[in-house]
Amino acid sequence: MRSKLIIALAFVLLGSSTAVMAQLIQANITDSSFLIPPKAVIDTSQSSDSLFANATKNSIFFAPGVSNDTVYAYSYNYSNESSNLLLIKRAIDASTLKAKGNDVTINIPIKSKSGVSVQTDIGYISFVYMRDDGNGTADQLYFSALPLSADSNTQLTANDVKLTNNTSLNSTFIDGLAWLQDGYFIIPFLEIDISDGFEKAIYLQAVKASDGSLLFPSAVKVASFNNPPGTTVPTAGANKHTNASSIYIVYRVNDTRTIFQNSMSFPNGKVDEPTTLVSDNDTITYIPDGIIAANTVFGIVLKRLKMQQNQTLIDSLIAYYNGTTSKPQTLDVTIPQDISDVAIQAYNYKSGFILLTQFIKGNDTNYDMQIFNSDGSQQVAQKTLAYASVITPMVFFIDASGVLWLGYSDYDKSSDKVSKAYLGKVLE
């Protein structure tokens, strides 16, 4: 399941070939594809940035402010031993890309048995985590949220909200990435059989952003199945960027090799019967890849894979627009040759939507952007933002005024420690 804000991208390796010097992983960025090319907003070699000195490639993230004049850079570290999540926050002027005020340290008490998923949306950082309720009790999923305006004294807006009422010691959960929808955090998650890792069901719960109350008395079961580990590949999203009336959940059932979609009325939680989108044949396999949730168009995107010379390669991306379940439209995306995987991320944009496409070939990755009209026709031609050969995180997000930003880091290959972190404005 995919949030609307965070996606990974690979980078290219540059640096020393000697054993004693650091090997610096740096991005290859296509400056001409940016409105404002990325600039360094954190430099850990500087004393002024000392609070970020221990930040690693996986602990740096970026977030939009509640207004378009400020964006944020964060690092985080979670300790299971102390049940504490430490956040370092830097406010950044969106015009100059310079720090605003002093960096802030925030300590958040969170008890988890398997780490914390950290996600962002306009106005909030949210945390999903799992633990049991004592010795001999079943695993439960929990949620908390913090306003982006938080300082060292700010209390969590939603504090330790219990999402599940699990009574089975043989069940655990994998959370999907939450997103903020019309005043609620939407949290989809998978139920997992502990004994064999099989994926058993998809659930969905929603938490009110203002006070942390649950939308549904108990998590809504969207679908049941018995899929081997990693084969359900669920994705979820709303039918509109704002004022949504439905949440769509798309997933694969392994034994029938079929892609299904379920819709849940929002906010009442009524789940419709599953609808078949498409089934595999002898040469073609379909995998869910994302949801387009714009103001003027809704779409479900699948990747179409084919066998070629004993390899499974990406053939095309197809989209089911505006609730249709037949005659999908092929997305007008140029796919590089011999691509083994692709991941898409879509954002609302004026009269259509932005599509960000990550192409993967081994460790090589390039990331393209294009803009489509609401009828699926191309509005702005496909262009490359970055390309790489070493995988490392990259963050895209939309700010309060609809501007698309990119954040990423240079880091040392051996230690994963960040040397510089960058922000760039892609599109407005």
pLDDT for position 172:
97
How large is the average pLDDT for residues 174-184?
93
Q: What are the phi and psi torsion angles at 201 (to 5°)?
A: -165, 160
Ranges of each domain in the chain: 6-427
Pairwise CA distance, residues 290 & 357, whole Å: 11
CA atoms within 13 A on the CB side of 203: 23
Residue with tokens 């798309």: 250
Residue type, 217: P
Top mean-pLDDT range of 18-32, 264-278, 401-415: 264-278
CA-only gyration radius of the chain, Å: 21
Spatial strand order in the sheet of 70-79: 60-64, 70-79, 84-93, 99-109
pLDDT for position 290:
95
Q: What's the pLDDT band for 72 if we cut at 50, 70, 90? A: very high
pLDDT for position 392:
63
pLDDT for position 309:
75
**Residues 6 or more apart in contact with residue 82 via CB below 8 angstroms:** none
Pairwise CA distance, residues 41 & 90, whole Å: 9
pLDDT for position 22:
66
- DSSP structure class, residue 66: S
User: Quick one: how far is CA 287 from the chain centroid?
Assistant: 17
CATH code of 6-427, in short, is 2.130.10.10
How large is the average pLDDT for residues 23-38?
91
Q: Which residue has the higher pLDDT, 121 or 413?
A: 121
Read off the pLDDT of residues 275-310 as tens digits, 9 standing for 90 and up.
Answer: 999 999 999 999 999 999 999 999 999 999 998 877
Pairwise CA distance, residues 364 & 341, whole Å: 11
